[in-house]
């Protein structure tokens, strides 16, 4: 039995009818049409689906869409403002922190939650902050560098 749910994503409200077992990731991608958040494992082990809910980095594949009602959800699509990239996004571009790009949205959202809570993290804190986001392309070096530069 489908249920009507209202989600607030990147400052805008979306109303959609879903089966209660649908995850936030599925609803973002399939119902709302935001495919920036990626599904890499559907098990909470890779971090590609990371979004920010009420300031915290959350795995959208382990979150039921119904649980996210009434909360502020920020996805990768919500970071750039007025055609200008968020400093994290700009530094990922400039420092070559992107290769295949599939982990990138999740990594950036984890980094955003980290910097919002701790604007001057140490390198160790940065590495811990994104340790739930697997990347097979970069060895994390340039990702950590891009986050460090953003925090400076």
Partner 1 sequence: MEKYSVIGKRLPRLDSVAKVTGDAKYAGDFFLPGMLHGKILRSTVPHAKILNIDTSRAEKLPGVRAVATGKDISDIPHGFIRAAPAPFFLRDKFSLAKEKVRFIGDEIAAVAAVDEDTAMEALDLIKVDYEELPAYFSPQESMALDAVRIHDHAESNVSVVISFHLGNIEQGFAESDFVFEDNYSTQYILASYIEPHAAVADFSQSGNVTLWLSTQTPFYDRTNIAETLGIPESKVRVIKPPVGGGFGAKTETHTLFTASAVLSRKAGRPVKIIYSREEEFTSTAHRHGVTVNHKIGVKKDGTIKAVDSKFFADGGAYNSHSAISMFIMGTLQNGPYNMGSFKYEGIRVYTNKPFAGGVRGHGAIQPRFVIETMMDSISEKLDIDPIEIRKMNAVKAGQTTISKFKIRSCGHTEALDKAVEEIGWKDKWRKLPDGKGVGLASMFFASGAAFSFFYDNPPSFSGVKINAETDGNFTLFTGTSDIGQGSETTLAQIAAEELGVGLNKISVIASDTATTPLDMGSYSSRVTVFGGGAAKIAAYNMKMKLFDIAADMLEANKDDLEAKNERIYVKGTPEKSVSIADTVIGYYNKMKEHLTSSGDYNPPADVGGEMRLDLGEVNISPTFSFGTHATEVDVDKETGEVKVQKIAAAHDCGFAINPMAVEGQIEGSIQMTFGQALLEDYRMEKGWSITNSFIDYKMATSEDMPYIKPIIVESIDSEGPFGAKEASEGTNVATIPSIANAIYDAVGIRMKDLPITPEKILRALEKKEGGK
Strands, E, within the chain: which ranges? 3-9, 12-18, 50-53, 56-59, 72-74
Q: Is residue 139 near partner 1 by the rule CB under 8 A?
A: yes
Q: Any contact of residue 133 with partner 1 (CB under 8 A)?
A: yes
**Pair of tokens at residue 93:** 């571009």
CA 69 to chain centre: 17
Q: Is 89 in the site for partner 1 (CB under 8 A)?
A: yes
Q: Is 65 in the site for partner 1 (CB under 8 A)?
A: no
Residue 77 binds to partner 1 (criterion: CB under 8 A):
yes
Residue 33 neighbours by CB under 8 Å, 6+ apart: none
Choose, by CB under 8 A, the member of 16, 42, 62, 71 that binds partner 1: 42
Instruction: Tell me which residue of 22, 90, 34, 91 sits closest to 61, measured CA to CA.
Output: 22
Q: Is 150 in the site for partner 1 (CB under 8 A)?
A: no
| Residue 56 engages partner 1 in binding (rule: CB under 8 A) | no
Q: Are 146 and 95 in contact (CB under 8 A)?
A: yes
**Which residues make up the interface to partner 1 (CB under 8 A)?**
29-30, 33-43, 45-46, 48, 75-77, 79-80, 85, 89, 92-96, 98-105, 108, 126-128, 130-144
């Amino acid at each position: 039995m489908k249920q009507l749910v209202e989600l607030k994503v990147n400052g805008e409200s979306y109303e959609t009818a879903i089966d209660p077992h649908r995850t936030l990731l599925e609803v973002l991608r399939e119902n709302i049409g935001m495919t920036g958040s990626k599904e890499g494992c559907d098990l909470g082990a890779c971090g590609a689906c990371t979004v920010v809910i009420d300031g915290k980095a959350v795995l959208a594949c382990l979150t039921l869409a119904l649980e996210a009602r009434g909360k502020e959800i920020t996805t990768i699509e919500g970071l750039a403002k007025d055609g200008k990239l968020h400093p994290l996004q700009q530094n990922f571009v400039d420092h070559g922190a992107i290769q295949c790009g599939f982990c990138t949205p999740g990594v950036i959202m984890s980094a955003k939650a980290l910097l919002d809570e701790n604007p001057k993290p140490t390198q160790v804190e940065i590495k811990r902050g994104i340790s739930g986001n697997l990347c097979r392309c970069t060895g994390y070096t340039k990702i950590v560098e891009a986050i460090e530069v953003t925090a400076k």
